[in-house]
């Protein structure tokens, strides 16, 4: 449940950012298991939708920082609600799976 591709990754990014500002590579470490490509792709999407702010420093080597915008931070509430629900009902879900698989 809710563990379907793209969405989970976006959620993970939002959770990872929280109130912080992170560089691309930091984000990549934070959200484990994500490929270079997917992270880029999803960050572009989040940026495009105005949920994430991208700040590139014209240095060498490059340094790019990502931060949640206001709407992005507002989304954290929703993400937290999802996490809360999951935490609260995980037991039920797992036992349901157990009965089903049996």
Residues that bind a second copy (CB under 8 A): 1-2, 4-7, 10, 45-51, 70-71, 74-75, 77-78, 81-82, 85, 88-89, 92-93, 95-97, 100
> Cα–Cα distance between 36 and 27 in angstroms, integer?
10
Instruction: Output the six-digit token pair for 47.
Output: 């940026």
Torsion sign (Cα): 33, 6, 15, 93 = negative
Q: Kindly list the strands in the beta sheet with 52-57, ordered across the sheet, starting from the edge strand earlier in the chain.
A: 21-23, 63-68, 52-57
Q: What is the CA angle 22-84-98, rounded to 5? A: 115
Contact partner, 73, from a second copy, DNA, none, Cβ < 5-8 Å per class: none
Binding mask 42-81 for DNA (x = CB under 7 A): -xx---------x-x----xxxx-----------------
- Residue 21 lies near DNA (rule: CB under 7 A): no
Which is closer to DNA, CB of 35 or CB of 95?
Answer: 35
Which three-class secondary structure state does DSSP give residue 73?
helix
List of residues contacting DNA (CB under 7 A): 5-6, 23-25, 28, 34-38, 40-41, 43-44, 54, 56, 61-64
């Amino acid at each position: 449940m809710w563990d379907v591709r793209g969405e989970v990754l976006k959620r993970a990014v939002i959770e990872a950012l929280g109130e912080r500002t992170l560089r691309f590579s930091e984000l990549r470490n934070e959200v484990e298991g994500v490929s270079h490509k997917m992270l880029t792709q999803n960050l572009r999407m989040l940026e495009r939708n105005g949920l994430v702010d991208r700040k590139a420093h014209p240095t060498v080597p490059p340094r790019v920082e990502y931060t949640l915008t206001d709407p992005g931070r507002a989304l954290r509430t929703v993400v937290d609600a999802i996490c809360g629900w999951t935490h609260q009902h995980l037991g039920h879900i797992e036992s349901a799976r157990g009965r089903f698989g049996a």
